Structure 1
Amino acid sequence: MICLAVILLSVINLNIYAQETKNHRIEVGSKVPDFSLKDDNGKDFKVSDYLGKKKMVIYFYPKDESSVCTKEACAFRDSYQEFKSTDAIIIGINSGTVQSHADFKKHHNLPFTLLSDPDNKVLKMFGVKDVMFLTGRETFLVDLDGKVVFKFKGMLKGDEHASSVLAFLKKK
């Protein structure tokens, strides 16, 4: 009986969350929401500081140091110079702490910014859905005008996010 109640509550919760994110989903053609979060050095990172100056690759990932997330981050690291040559910056976001991000960045020599979103407020702004209690894995490419021009998602395809965005950037 308790198991049935837990399952029922979970289904209701998922439906409520789906309704909330359905209305706030960022799609290709949408403007990127303005937000500010703490980076891996504890400093404020504001999207508005980069609009009109750099393209932005914003990727949401579940957890620092998990296997798929590490593959994803290292794929962005290994392609960093190619992204830089297209005038794009890379920004990774999850609910981890500033310290967790700093440790993850140092451990894997990540040359890009990681942002701490402890309450998942930015994740919700983008409409990225959780998958089984984990932050969803989605990547957005934002042009100089602040418009989302490409989006890629795949929970278990962490190592494909960087190559997919890069392929799109090279076609342009």
Structure 2
Amino acid sequence: MSKTPEIGAPAPDFTLDAVHLTDGEAERVPLTLSAQRGRPVVLAFYPGDDTAVCTKQLCSYSSGFEQFTDLDATVWGISPQGLDSHERFARKYDLRMPLLADTEHKVVEAYGIGLGSNALRRAVFIIDAEGILRWKHVALVGLTYRGIDTLTTQLELLRR
């Protein structure tokens, strides 16, 4: 298994297909991390669509979405399921962030959070406006997640 990137190192770049709901319309587009330069990005890796803890995590991020946008941050949810699964999940819970499909586990491996087969560790990475990894949390067991307060505190530190 790969190691997670070190704090202060460039974040591994990638492009993944994503689905994003806007006013009930699903837009499917490829998203590239390096194209987000100029603003911080929160990458929230989660094991599966419509599972108990993942649903709580992404719903909490979605319901507090303005706290991220007020800090000019982009939030992406990333998991191994395909776009159809992501769209059903996003519609069911009215999720406001793009959900990216890492069906080949390439990004999971680049970030060192794979657990073999199609499993992954729940993880969050915060990347600054220049593409440098500034904060990360990789769970040993994916039963908990880092909440909005923790993430926004880390994003606020980037502004200093």
Percentage of pairs with the same residue: 28
AA at the equivalent of 2:33 = V
Separation (CA, whole Å) in 2 of partners of 1:35 and 1:129: 16
In structure 2, what is the equivalent of residue 157 of structure 1? Answer: 144
Contact between 1:152 and 1:164, CA under 8 Å: does it hold in 2? no
- Say which SS state the counterpart of residue 119 (structure 2) adopts: coil
Separation (CA, whole Å) in 1 of partners of 2:97 and 2:70: 14
Structure 2 length normalisation: TM-score? 0.86
In structure 1, what is the equivalent of residue 100 of structure 2? Answer: 115
Matched, 1:39 2:24: no
Cα deviations by residue, 1:49-89 (Å, 9 ceiling, x for unpaired)? 1112x210001100000000001101111221010000001
Instruction: Give the counterpart of 2:49 among 50, 64, 68.
Output: 64
Separation (CA, whole Å) in 2 of partners of 1:113 and 1:72: 14
Matched, 1:55 2:40: yes
Contact between 2:80 and 2:118, CA under 8 Å: does it hold in 1? no
Separation (CA, whole Å) in 2 of partners of 1:161 and 1:57: 12
Contact between 1:93 and 1:116, CA under 8 Å: does it hold in 2? yes
Q: Which moved more, 1:124-133 or 1:75-84?
A: 124-133
Q: How many equivalent residue pairs? A: 149
Matched, 1:84 2:69: yes
Which sections of structure 1, spanning at least 5 residues, go unmatched? 1-16
Higher strand share goes to which structure? 2
Separation (CA, whole Å) in 1 of partners of 2:49 and 2:94: 13
In structure 2, what is the equivalent of residue 97 of structure 1? Answer: 82
Structure 1 length normalisation: TM-score? 0.80
Contact between 1:58 and 1:90, CA under 8 Å: does it hold in 2? yes
In structure 2, what is the equivalent of residue 128 of structure 1? Answer: 113
Structure 1 position 153, deviation (Å) = 2.5
Higher helix share goes to which structure? 1
Matched, 1:26 2:5: yes
Separation (CA, whole Å) in 1 of partners of 2:113 and 2:8: 16
Separation (CA, whole Å) in 2 of partners of 1:163 and 1:129: 26
Separation (CA, whole Å) in 2 of partners of 1:157 and 1:113: 21
Which sections of structure 2, spanning at least 5 residues, go unmatched? 20-26
Separation (CA, whole Å) in 2 of partners of 1:168 and 1:59: 14
Separation (CA, whole Å) in 2 of partners of 1:55 and 1:80: 14
In our comparison, the structure showing a higher alpha carbon Rg is 1
